[in-house]
């Protein structure tokens, strides 16, 4: 008969003993579990965010759009890098894709570059203006309203002649301009269906509070500025009808018209007279468009590329 050995109970190895195979000490076990939990819950390190692409920008319009008055002209159209298109292009939020502006351009139908409608057609044909366009600025109507002719009459003729011409322009020319603007803005919206379209108004050329300027009496200056207000009202109404953003400039040019100590308008006797100078575009037009249109917000809303 085989004698069984008594069952021997082996003593447990103390936990945490160096070299042992037992469980981790409680503090270390807790730390390990916590680290594993955090590792499982925390997302992988993400790549830095892609900065938004600059707005694809197209400039359209007349001499107030091309930068006439600022100097440093690049070609016959009076385009200047110191005008609004060049200033906006220097902003991080904007990249100028095409500049169709030209001094003398009208809102009425016609060929490029002397008609803004023609400018649109040409840039669409070239592929520079289309569904990819994010931002468009346009200035048109001053030549249709005979800005230069009215200023010349008010400077060289009796006050009554000045007032009569402004009244005739308001009664006869501006209604026709409103129809041309309606057609022009419709064409622009079809050409650039996704773009934010900014319509810039015309500034007051005179600051009558400082006295006579360039041969114009105070009443003549006030009459001319009132005519500018009538023109701007037509532009604003047409802009609203098409869902475009209206940017007035009269307030920004306040106390900086002709006759002021620091005018932002070129003199009537200069080749590029009765237009904003470089300071006028830089301190008048640029902040009005940049802040009024909130270009930074527009850029953030565009998909990253």
Residue whose token pair is 């309606």: 182
Contact 241, 283 (CB under 8 A): no
Name beta bridge partners: 137.
59, 198
- Residue 273 makes CB contacts below 8 A (sequence gap 6+) with 69, 266, 267
Contact 91, 66 (CB under 8 A): no
Longest CA–CA span in the chain (Å) reads 147
The rounded distance, in Å, linking the Cα atoms of 41 and 14 is 34
Judging by DSSP bridges, how do beta strands 55-61 and 245-247 pair with one another?
unpaired
- Which residues are designated catalytic? 63, 275
């Amino acid at each position: 008969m085989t004698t069984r050995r008594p069952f021997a109970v082996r003593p447990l190895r103390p936990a945490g003993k160096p070299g042992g195979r037992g469980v981790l000490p409680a503090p270390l076990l807790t730390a390990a579990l916590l680290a594993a939990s955090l590792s499982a819950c925390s997302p992988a390190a993400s790549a830095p965010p892609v900065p938004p692409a600059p707005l694809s920008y197209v400039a359209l319009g007349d001499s107030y759009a091309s930068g006439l008055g600022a100097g440093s002209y690049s070609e016959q159209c009076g385009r200047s890098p110191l005008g609004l298109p060049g200033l906006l292009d220097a902003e991080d939020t904007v990249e100028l894709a095409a500049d169709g502006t030209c001094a003398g351009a009208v809102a009425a139908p016609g060929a490029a570059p002397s008609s803004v409608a023609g400018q649109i057609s040409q840039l669409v044909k070239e592929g520079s203006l289309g569904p990819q366009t994010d931002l468009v600025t346009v200035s048109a109507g001053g030549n249709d309203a005979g800005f230069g002719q009215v200023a010349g009459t008010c400077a060289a003729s009796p006050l009554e002649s000045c007032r009569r011409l402004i009244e005739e322009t308001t009664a006869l020319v501006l209604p026709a301009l409103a129809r041309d603007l309606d057609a022009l803005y419709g064409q622009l919206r079809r050409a650039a269906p996704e773009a934010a379209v900014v319509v810039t108004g015309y500034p007051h050329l005179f600051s009558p509070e400082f006295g006579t300027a360039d041969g114009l009496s105070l009443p003549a200056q006030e009459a001319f500025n009132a005519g500018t207000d009538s023109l701007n009202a037509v532009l604003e109404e047409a802009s609203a009808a098409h869902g475009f953003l209206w940017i007035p400039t009269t307030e920004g040019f306040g106390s900086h018209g002709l006759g002021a100590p620091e005018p932002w308008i070129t003199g009537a006797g200069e080749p590029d007279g009765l237009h904003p100078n470089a300071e006028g575009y830089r301190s008048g037009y640029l902040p009005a468009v940049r802040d009024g249109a909130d270009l930074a917000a527009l850029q953030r809303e565009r998909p990253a590329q």
